[in-house]
Structure 1
């Protein structure tokens, strides 16, 4: 089945992926450096989060022409789980278990109901 997606449908997804990378680093990146001062972690995280907002706000503005706000939020949450999974493995060196995979898959299945007509 062939279908074409408009840039207004694709750009928000790409921008939400990028914004989630920044936000995941802002929220969890400091865990790799637990010996640093908490004040430094807060300031660094705040600086990183600025770039997340520079992507997330326009992604939602552009995306609102194509998606409902519930769809945008649901998309963002599923993207967050995908980004977080890669981040926890590659940055923090944690293992993902079958329980994680099943739990994340169930969340994604639940999220798919938001996109049904």
Structure 2
């Protein structure tokens, strides 16, 4: 695999870690004022953008825009599943597994190419 194939995936994984904390990390701090968590989340999201924008710039051309978005969504689900288990302490159920599997099946069709 080439740099243009691997770098976007690595950068998207890292960016999704930041974005997951930006969007959901504050849930453990329900006692904090909303404006504080909004500002903190915005600050964390800045770093997500610093990784996601280069990921898409580097990857576009090797991947189509639809493929890049699909990669990002699958990574988002994987990162979120780990985050919700270990950070939020939520349970991962069979329903989650089925739902995420169906989304991954959709990703398969994006990468498969046109059906003839």
Please report how far the alpha carbon of residue 63 of structure 1 lies from its aligned counterpart in structure 2 after TM superposition. Answer: 0.3
4+ runs deviating over 6 angstroms: none
Aligned partners of 2:30 and 2:85: how far apart in 1? 17
1:116, CA displacement in angstroms?
1.1
CA RMSD of the aligned region, Å? 0.6
Indicate yes or no: 2:48 matched with 1:83: no
The two structures have a TM-score, normalised by structure 2, of 0.96
Report how many residues are paired.
Answer: 113
Q: 2:56 aligns with which of 60, 80, 85?
A: 60
Note the residue ranges of structure 1 that are not aligned, 5 or more in a row: none
Cα displacement string for residues 55-87 of structure 1 (whole angstroms, at most 9, x for unaligned residues): 000000000020000000011001000000000
The alpha-carbon deviation at position 7 of structure 1 amounts to 1.1
Tell whether 2:23 aligns with 1:27: yes
Corresponding residue number in structure 2 for 1:41: 37
Counterpart residue number, 2:93: 97
